[in-house]
Structure 1
């Protein structure tokens, strides 16, 4: 569906009509660059993932120039969504939420695209606001917070936008999702839009610095409003990053021959090390980056733009290190679906 509250999926209706089996939950995040699905069942720790899918579809490719989703991008995305729909049917999903973010918020032909998705996959996609996107990303990352540090700066570098959340634990709100204790900002650029503006092959130092400065300057108003820097100087801020950029840099830092979510999720990265890796990636061309473990051809033209956004964030707020989260919006949706299951009992 379009903007607004999601209606129950067909599978949710089937459960309401008499299936007494264990709840099976699905969260699907259709972003500017990726299509990602998690299927889970309730567990003592919250939920247990039983199936997953992720594919780089580049739905927003060329969107900045043409303001429309291209035919090729829509076709790639529909094919990925068909796989998601088959997985959801195979797992007998009983409650789901399927959301789209920046590419669908901006595209003039988005309604036609969503109609096509519904016709070919039977999936109803909901376009969520930038604020809700940030809320859900925060909810998915809360389990990684250090309880001894009262404030958290959480960011998600996406394909078409970058969300940041400033969370203050001392305010009232759910212990699990932190809602009621946050402020958020959405920057109107991500790895795809920045790479398309500045090129995706080799970056000289001046070009890379311009990208960093653009990212950092976009944060000035948020800093002026909340005085995050003062809290950092008091040692009262932790930083959590959830994005392909951050997880890729973590994999490189750990010298992984291939990406391993279980090893990356929850690890830490020092700012100095991230800056060194970013400089190395920017100094080589597309082919060299594509040959590196944890990057590959699908990310090689985007990872430097992501590094520039990340460096801008780190320079604006020098916490010193960040916690890496291979989790976020989808996990936040799953927590919401768990709450809905509890309320329905």
Structure 2
């Protein structure tokens, strides 16, 4: 069965087209556009008209690919920013017109389950229990389990939200970093009251913040998802990379060969979130996974995973 999965987050929108038959999973196309749908949502509670325009333009591109490649089933999942926006109907209506399906505004729990299903697909249960951490634009999910989700919590410390809330300067001033860190530590503690974040055998981190930190730690000259996938990054490397991103200017971060231009503004805050997670969990390393919620959405269309 050929399926199309779309993950619409706060910072990016991504498409995966895959052929799934039984246990066979073959990727046909994977693409991403940075659209910053969550622009200003933390402050205003609404989508900015420009953000809706950018995102629907990306949906138009995805619709063309889906039509061209003979997709049989589509699932469109929108996450943190769309949950928070009071005018989300404008966006939902636009997606429906373009794809002919109802976009789902999924809960934090559903987001966690889909992320978990995607993230653990290349691991053996003996590597568990797992803690899957998904640092998005608006929120971060903490998901614990071995073959299925045992506990999960979504907290509002995504890279876009933290950047807009705290980082008025670039590079951020120390007082801004301290304020962001306090916010992050408080949110992680909230997650830890529900999820046993120190009890995992393997910590898996997914999404663009984690994979960009991995690219930096691996000293890649350009972004290489095959080199990043399943790489093991030590806690010390995460702390050093976070500090590097926080002290470089935007222009300096842009010169890094692995840096996506759409991520350059929010990577300092995102890396700070990951650094604090490493401290709070006590994990000596994390495994970077390029398989994430998008893979989980695709598998759900074939009746697998979440």
- TM-score greater than 0.5 by the shorter chain: yes
Q: TM-score, normalised by structure 2?
A: 0.93
Residue 258 (str. 1) matches residue 222 (str. 2): yes
Closer/same/farther in 2, CA of residues 119 and 43 from structure 1, 3 Å limit: closer
Which residue matches 1:278?
242
Q: TM-score, normalised by structure 1?
A: 0.83
Deviates more, 1:208-217 or 1:78-87: 208-217
1:1-345 equivalence runs, <5 A: 23-43=1-21, 45-145=23-123, 147-167=125-145, 169=146, 178-179=147-148, 181-199=149-167, 201-225=170-194, 227-229=196-198, 231=199, 237-339=201-303
Distance 1:208 1:146 in 2: 38
Shift of 1:105: 0.7
Work out whether residues 166 and 179 of structure 2, in 8 Å CA contact, stay in contact via their aligned partners in 1: no
Work out whether residues 145 and 152 of structure 1, in 8 Å CA contact, stay in contact via their aligned partners in 2: no
Distance 2:71 2:296 in 1: 17
Distance 1:129 1:155 in 2: 16
Closer/same/farther in 2, CA of residues 135 and 287 from structure 1, 3 Å limit: same
Shift of 1:114: 1.1
Deviates more, 1:236-245 or 1:112-121: 112-121
Q: Give secondary structure in 2 for the equivalent of 1:159.
A: coil
Shift of 1:201: 1.8
Give the unaligned 5+ runs of structure 1: 1-22, 170-177, 341-345
Work out whether residues 291 and 297 of structure 1, in 8 Å CA contact, stay in contact via their aligned partners in 2: no
Distance 1:266 1:325 in 2: 5
Q: Give secondary structure in 2 for the equivalent of 1:269.
A: strand
* Count of residue pairs brought into register by the alignment: 303
Q: Give secondary structure in 2 for the equivalent of 1:148.
A: helix
Deviation per CA, 1:112-136, whole angstroms, max 9, x where unpaired? 2211222244343111110000000
Shift of 1:51: 1.4
Distance 2:10 2:190 in 1: 25
Closer/same/farther in 2, CA of residues 290 and 320 from structure 1, 3 Å limit: same
Shift of 1:36: 0.3
Distance 2:63 2:177 in 1: 40
Work out whether residues 20 and 299 of structure 2, in 8 Å CA contact, stay in contact via their aligned partners in 1: no
Distance 2:86 2:95 in 1: 16
Deviation per CA, 1:235-258, whole angstroms, max 9, x where unpaired? x52100002111001111222221
